[in-house]
Structure 1
Amino acid sequence: MFINHIEGKVVETTPASVVLESGGVGYYIKIPVSTYEQLKKDRIRLLISMIFKNEVIELYGFYTEEERNYFESLLKVRGIGGETALRILSSMNFYEFKEVVDRGDVDSLAEVRGIGRKRAEKIVFELKGLFKEEIIPNEALSALISLGFTRKEAKRILLNVVKSVPQGDLEMLIKEALKNT
């Protein structure tokens, strides 16, 4: 990875891309739907993943580190390129994807346009075990524990609400968790 992030003025957007101007240069960056939903500001900072393909550099931008890690884990699967990884990322959030892989839910992955059953099986096979860590953010878990919940209670509560909250919105996740106690 040569470029970690780009911060700049939003010049142009589509649901699949953004042009960010930084230092007088306009960067064309492909993005997932979840990042597009965060582009309501004039200036934004995107975490970048670069792919070199056929002597062309492609930039992929993400609003959160989790999204970028999710994207890059998909790229490790042979035969999955940036466009396909972005399609998967746009069809299910990070937490849903981790759960699908952990459960071996090939059918859910196969529903993504351009994936099919064989590719879905390959993704599950190659990534199973990679996501052993919890599907809930540590910050949310720590916040509930500091409010007096046991670790077990906090995990149970967060697992019940994590899928209904936009990825990366820690404040909303904690509020929803507290509503559901």
Structure 2
Amino acid sequence: MIGRLCGVLADKQAPDVLIDVGGVGYEVQLPMTSFYELPELGDKVTVFTHFVVREDAQLLYGFANTAERALFRELIKVNGVGPKLGLAILSGMNASEFAQIVERDDASALTKLPGVGKKTAERLVIEMRDRLKNLNHVDMPLGLASTVNGNPVADKDVEGDAIAALLALGYKPQQASKAVNAVMADGLSSEELIKRALQSML
């Protein structure tokens, strides 16, 4: 199993990144909470990974810290929650915020995430309550992840990148477009725009 990657950030197009490790490029999907913490292209990066082998694909999911990875691993054990939905959940909130929602039995807060219906939300709250007790809360990050600062590249379609990222996370086209347009402002990076759009839908 591949548990960690340390290399150079070769490309990032939310929620996907390409990490060059000794000349080998690893394609990794990250939840947006981890994506926000990425360095600039060409800089060194370390991500903690979860490796999934399917009949038709081998997939790597990456996380900024071991707490988010541990939570992701527990999430995908819940009936009806696969890796894609696990990423969507951790893109809408960090590990600490998810733990607080479960402790408050606030299933309605989870239904605002793409792909999470009422029954799935209730199942998550019930099943994750005991599983969270087994996770090390000390390592769970508090508050929202900080955003990598930087102005968008002139020829880069920031709005299009943000919408594409939301679509990849499971949001419907109309929902993604509406959320991005509502928070669009001059000078925002695509990461900041995605973060604001996600927050506006919670």
Q: Does 2:123 align with 1:122? A: yes
Query: 2:30: which partner in 1?
Result: 31
State the alpha-carbon separation in 2 of the partners of residues 38 and 60 from structure 1: 15
Any residues of structure 2 matched to 1:160-175 within 5 Å, and which? 162-163=142-143, 166=145
State the alpha-carbon separation in 2 of the partners of residues 87 and 32 from structure 1: 7
TM-score by length of structure 1 reads 0.72
Unaligned runs of 5+ in 1: 141-161, 168-181
Q: How many residues align?
A: 144
Query: 2:163: which partner in 1?
Result: none
Instruction: Give the 3-state SS of the residue equivalent to 1:130 in structure 2.
Output: helix
Letter in 2 for 1:31: L
Letter in 2 for 1:69: A
State the alpha-carbon separation in 2 of the partners of residues 85 and 131 from structure 1: 15
Pairwise CA distance, 1:131:
1.8
State the alpha-carbon separation in 1 of the partners of residues 24 and 73 from structure 2: 25
Higher-Rg structure is 1
Pairwise CA distance, 1:54:
2.7
Letter in 2 for 1:95: S
Query: 2:165: which partner in 1?
Result: none
**Equivalent residues of 2:29, 2:60 under 8 A apart:** yes
Q: In 2 relative to 1, CA 135–112 (structure 1 residues): closer, same or farther, beyond 3 Å? A: farther
Any residues of structure 2 matched to 1:131-142 within 5 Å, and which? 131-132=132-133, 137=138
Query: 1:67: which partner in 2?
Result: 68
Query: 2:160: which partner in 1?
Result: none
Query: 1:89: which partner in 2?
Result: 90
State the alpha-carbon separation in 1 of the partners of residues 111 and 102 from structure 2: 12
**Equivalent residues of 1:102, 1:129 under 8 A apart:** no
State the alpha-carbon separation in 2 of the partners of residues 47 and 83 from structure 1: 17
Letter in 1 for 2:83: G
Instruction: Give the 3-state SS of the residue equivalent to 1:131 in structure 2.
Output: helix
Pairwise CA distance, 1:135:
8.3
Unaligned runs of 5+ in 2: 147-202
Pairwise CA distance, 1:133:
6.6
Q: In 2 relative to 1, CA 138–55 (structure 1 residues): closer, same or farther, beyond 3 Å? A: closer
Letter in 1 for 2:8: K
Q: In 2 relative to 1, CA 105–12 (structure 1 residues): closer, same or farther, beyond 3 Å? A: same
State the alpha-carbon separation in 2 of the partners of residues 166 and 139 from structure 1: 11
Pairwise CA distance, 1:127:
1.2
Query: 2:39: which partner in 1?
Result: 40
Any runs of at least 4 consecutive aligned residues in structure 1 with deviations exceeding 2 A, and if so which?
A: 132-140
State the alpha-carbon separation in 2 of the partners of residues 40 and 134 from structure 1: 27
Pairwise CA distance, 1:49:
0.3
